[in-house]
Amino acid sequence: MGSSSPTFSLPPQRAVFAGLLFDMDGTIIDSTSAVEKHWHTIGEELGEDPNVILQTSHGRRSIDVLKLLRPEKATWEYVKHMEGQLPLKYGSDAVEIPGARSLLDSIRGANVPWAIVTSGTMPLVSGWLDVLKLPHPEHLVVAEDVENGKPDPTCYIMGREKLGLQSDAEVLVLEDSPAGIKAGKAAGCKVVGVVTSHTVEQIVDARPDWIIKDLDSLKMVGNSNRGVELEFLNALNVK
């Protein structure tokens, strides 16, 4: 990355996409505080160090974390119940990522194809969207839909298919984690990385197509039969 610090200073760039695939936590909402409290509770219940859990849990499915720590607890019944409690108990600790609501309102108003593709379960996703009064997408890909979580690209391939888009369609994945960025790229999508949960260096190393601070730097500027036109503002300059 050179000797100088990277800056979010690139001039505006525009691109057209046939559809958008959003990660959830760290991309649409920030539930870091809630998740930390949640895993501390679960860690204590399981007799595991919650700090060790938190070092590897972000962007990964809970069932994959449990497979390593407590295989006997790695069932969808347990995970969905556990995650369903998170928004109910800690809903006041979550906030939307800056710009998320505005962007979602814009694309919904223009009937842009979009979906949420997340490592969370259905109870977790629907719970957070309800608590924060954010729109529910017509299409969802959740943890229990795929055999392997991110960075496996299956979830994003499935998301593109749910939008009815072919593999050659220009689709944008919006992600905050290196595993998710790698999954989107491996699925053949363009990817924008948001620096909300990981360091700039970690996001750069994952090699997304654009890097922005948050969704305030992404605006819808047009919509036509070619697709939705987005403008990337103040993207990261790593040179």
* Alpha carbon distance 210, 217 (integer Å): 11
Mean predicted lDDT score pLDDT of the chain: 93
Domain spans of the chain, in order of start? 7-30+94-237, 32-93
* CATH topology classification for 32-93: DNA polymerase; domain 1 (1.10.150)
Q: 23, 176, 209, 214: which one is catalytic? A: 23
What CATH architecture is 7-30+94-237? 3-Layer(aba) Sandwich (3.40)
Q: 25, 30, 209, 214: which one is catalytic? A: 25
DSSP symbol at 218:
E
25 is known as an active-site residue: yes
* pLDDT tens track for 48-83: 888 888 877 766 899 998 998 899 999 999 999 999
* Alpha carbon distance 179, 174 (integer Å): 12
Lowest mean pLDDT among 1-15, 108-122, 124-138, 185-199: 1-15
Confidence at residue 1, expressed as pLDDT on a 0 to 100 scale: 40
* pLDDT tens track for 182-230: 999 999 999 999 999 999 999 999 999 999 999 999 999 999 999 999 9
In contact, 59 and 180? CB cutoff 8 Å = yes
